[in-house]
Amino acid sequence: MAGDPRDWVLHCDELLLAVNKPAGLPTLPDGYRGDAPSLIALLQQVFGRLWVVHRLDKETSGVLLFARTAEAHRTLNAQFAAHQTAKIYHALVVGRPTWDEHTIDLPLRPDGDRRHRTVVDVARGKPSVTRCRVLMRFAAYSLVEARPLTGRPHQIRAHLAAEGLPIVGDLLYAGQGGRLQGEAGAVLRRLLTDDAPLARLGLHARALTIVHPASSAPLTLEAPCPADFNVALARLAAPGSSR
């Protein structure tokens, strides 16, 4: 991965390191390819020992927080476990919601099928809530703000797909319910991949609010959308765009 890890830093002090994670770079080393680049390996070459507080999918960009001491790690883990943090994501989805604001309240079960997806499961799923707001509408796509109130794996991807609004590039979740079958499925597949305005998963972790372990004051970390995301939005918003 090209670039200087120092350029990704959003906040750095004796206890915390927050970065704007580039898309395409895994948070942790690949279990099968230990020599492949990972975000934590690159950062530790510059900043020393780091503790992982939370993760983002490889193709997701945005705010990612690390602890720089074991005590800070314990404190932050407790905050995440108690839902004392607040996260904001921007998701570029296929479709145009009929609502402006909406709360998705569907129980989710991680690793719920053969493809290891997080699935909606009313009987065995855990309570999962995501608050959504439409930021921009285009011809075939929309930009949605998603605020997960719970922390299930792939929660936003699974919830938006269940609403019929799969995230651009997310063939894994768009296929739930067989919606990639037939002619309609071919159109959806094209919008997700071949004709998509963004050549990766259209999900960006825009902001994260925590309580600083030292000061006990709220700290909001914000990650500007990367260039590829902004270019995609500009193209979609251009006059005459049919997307």
pLDDT of residue 239: 86
Q: Average pLDDT in the 109-133 region?
A: 94
What digits encode the pLDDT tens for the residues 4-39?
899 999 999 999 999 999 999 999 987 666 677 899
Percent of the chain with pLDDT over 90: 84
Instruction: State the CB neighbour count (10 A cutoff) for residue 172.
Output: 17
**pLDDT range class, residue 240, cuts 50, 70, 90:** confident
CA 227/CA 214 separation, integer angstroms: 34
Q: What is the pLDDT of residues 39-71, one digit of tens each?
A: 999 999 999 999 999 999 999 999 999 999 999
Average pLDDT over residues 183-211: 94
Whether the CB-CB separation of 232 and 225 falls below 8 Å is answered with no
Q: What are phi and psi of 200, to 5 degrees?
A: -170, 180
Average pLDDT over residues 113-123: 93
Pair of tokens at residue 173? 């979740």
**What local confidence, expressed as pLDDT, does residue 233 receive?**
97
**If pLDDT is split at 50, 70 and 90, which confidence band does 175 have?**
confident
Per-residue pLDDT at 178 exceeds 90? no
Distance in angstroms (rounded) separating the CA atoms of residues 130 and 122: 16
Average confidence (pLDDT) over 92-96: 96
Average pLDDT estimate for 192-214:
96
3-state secondary structure of 70: helix
pLDDT at 1: 47
pLDDT at 3: 73
Cα(123)–Cα(86) distance, integer angstroms: 27
Identify the pLDDT of residue 115. Answer: 87
Dist CA 46 CA 23 (whole Å):
20
In this predicted structure, the answer to whether residue 218 has a pLDDT above a threshold of 50 is yes
The predicted structure's pLDDT at residue 131: 98
Predicted confidence (pLDDT) at residue 86 exceeds the cutoff of 70: yes
Confidence (pLDDT) at 129? 98
Question: 3-state class of 228 per DSSP?
Answer: helix
- pTM of the full structure: 0.94
**What number does CATH give the domain 5-237?**
3.30.2350.10
At residue 159, the 3 state secondary structure works out as helix
Which residues are marked as active site?
57
* Phi, psi (deg, nearest 5) at residue 212: -65, 130
Q: With bands split at pLDDT 50, 70 and 90, how would you rate the model's confidence at 241?
A: confident
Degrees to nearest 5, angle at CA 83 with 79 and 89 = 105
3-state secondary structure of 198: coil
What's the mean pLDDT when you consider all of the chain?
A: 93
- Coil/strand/helix, residue 222: strand
